[in-house]
């Protein structure tokens, strides 16, 4: 199959014979204008307003989590989730190298050190086998906490990421974390509407975090959320997201060094209108992935699909070429032809600020990085 065959097929299914086809554009086909106008008319456009509360309620309904806390973006959600989860200066936090830089940056914002452990080829998410092997080589449990035997640092949290909306082996990861006394916080930024069995991603550990950036399945322009089943955790997260102001009609008393991370009502209005359409969006994205799967069958190019027992939201569809030259050839030709495609992220351990971080064997992440390409995945307006 040639690059031009793929480009022609993408143009045919998006019904765009000549113009630019983005990787993932938002679709506003519901109550977005109505709710945003309502917010403007109310004058409650900042972090106090009915849509912020409604957004949190909808996130609880969708994920099945008992509590949700709205934030201004996914990075702040992950940062706050770790702070509330007890990450301290100098701790080590295990994550995967194949991820968006925000995962590693949020760890650094806590003044902690990322540790990179390999992914599975099947899920592109953190490998529970690689995690277990790394901990057996490096870790020891002392007094109900995990420590790195070589560095002496506490390993406080593990953050797997559900890559492109495909659920990782999160149940197995949770078992490893429980065995080694490490808190589990899921980076579910890309996986709204993804499940393992009947359980939504982001709900398998202490907390999960989501992103609602402009290119996500659901967007609020900028926004994030923390979900958890722990009441005390949720209460503290919400308190710290609102500058730790004690409730009072007129006095300004704050009891923690905290953050101004609360989602504005204006963004929440957009998010609520988008979440109302989530079932339709997911249905259309699944139909798109099915068309791609049929097209790439027997082509020599692998199309990544959800693993058995899981439901992926197919946020970004992904294909695997035979090698890096084939990958780069397609990236060059498709983008020249105004059909947007992109490679996987540069592995975190190769970025200058994370080059000296501790890492395990990363063979799978390196293999995927050389071959993976995301292709247009927008929700089509039908």
pLDDT of residue 49: 86
pLDDT given at position 250 = 86
Return the pLDDT at 222: 92
Tell the CATH topology of 32-276.
Answer: 3.40.640
CB distance 223 to 70 below 8 Å: yes
Residue-level pLDDT at 382:
66
* CA-based end-to-end distance of the chain: 29
d(CA 211, CA 120): 23
> What is the predicted pLDDT for the residue at 123?
98
The domain segmentation of the chain, as residue ranges, is 3-26+278-375, 32-276
Q: Is the dihedral of CA 288, 291, 295, 300 positive or negative?
A: positive
Q: What's the confidence (pLDDT) of residue 244? A: 87
**The pair of three-digit structure tokens given for residue 104, joined into one six-digit string:** 């590693």
* Longest CA span, the chain: 68
Structure tokens at 39: 């917010």
Same fold? 3-26+278-375, 32-276? no
pLDDT in tens, 218-257: 999 999 999 999 999 999 999 999 988 998 888 998 999 9
- Report the CATH fold assignment for 3-26+278-375: 3.90.1150
Q: Which tens digit of pLDDT belongs to each residue from 86-131?
A: 999 999 999 999 999 999 999 999 999 999 999 999 999 999 999 9
Q: How many helices (H) and strands (E) does the chain have?
A: 12, 16
**Is there a contact between 311 and 340 (Cβ–Cβ < 8 Å)?**
no
Q: What sign has the CA pseudo-torsion 69, 72, 78, 84?
A: negative
Strand, coil or helix: what is 271? helix
> What's the pLDDT at 301?
97
State which residues of the chain have pLDDT below 70. 382
């Amino acid at each position: 199959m040639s690059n031009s065959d793929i480009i022609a097929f993408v143009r045919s299914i998006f019904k765009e014979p000549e113009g630019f086809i983005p990787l993932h554009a938002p679709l506003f086909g519901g109550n977005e204008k109505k709710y945003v106008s309502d917010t403007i008319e109310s004058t409650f456009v900042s972090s106090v307003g009915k849509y912020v509360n409604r957004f949190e309620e909808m996130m609880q309904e969708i994920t099945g989590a008992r509590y949700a806390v709205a934030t201004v973006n996914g990075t702040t959600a992950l940062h706050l989730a770790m702070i509330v989860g007890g990450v301290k200066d100098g701790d080590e936090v295990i994550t995967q190298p194949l991820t968006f830089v925000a995962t590693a940056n949020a760890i650094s914002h806590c003044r902690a050190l990322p540790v990179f452990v390999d992914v599975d080829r099947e899920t592109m998410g953190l490998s529970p086998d690689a995690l277990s092997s790394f901990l057996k080589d490096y870790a020891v449990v002392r007094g109900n906490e995990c420590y790195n035997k070589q560095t002496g640092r506490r390993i406080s949290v593990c953050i797997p990421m559900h890559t492109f909306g495909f659920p990782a082996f999160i149940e197995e990861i949770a078992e490893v974390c429980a065995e080694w006394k490490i808190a589990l916080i899921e980076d579910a930024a890309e996986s709204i509407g993804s499940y393992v069995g009947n359980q939504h991603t982001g709900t398998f550990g202490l907390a999960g975090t989501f992103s609602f950036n402009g290119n996500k399945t659901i967007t609020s322009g900028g926004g994030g959320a923390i979900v958890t089943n722990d009441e005390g955790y949720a209460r503290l997260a919400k308190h710290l997201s609102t500058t730790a102001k004690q409730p009072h009609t007129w006095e300004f008393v704050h009891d923690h060094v905290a953050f101004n991370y609360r989602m504005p009502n204006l963004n929440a209005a957009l998010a609520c209108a988008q979440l109302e359409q989530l079932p339709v969006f997911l249905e259309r994205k699944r139909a798109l992935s099915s068309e791609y799967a049929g097209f790439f069958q027997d082509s020599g190019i692998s199309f990544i699909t959800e693993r058995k027992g899981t439901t992926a939201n197919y946020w970004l569809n992904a294909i695997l070429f035979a090698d890096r030259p084939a990958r780069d050839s397609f990236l060059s030709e498709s983008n020249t032809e105004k059909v947007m495609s992109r490679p996987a992220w540069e592995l975190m351990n190769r970025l200058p600020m994370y080059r000296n971080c501790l890492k395990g064997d990363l063979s799978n992440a390196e293999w995927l990085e050389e071959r993976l390409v995301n292709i247009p995945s927008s929700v089509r307006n039908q």
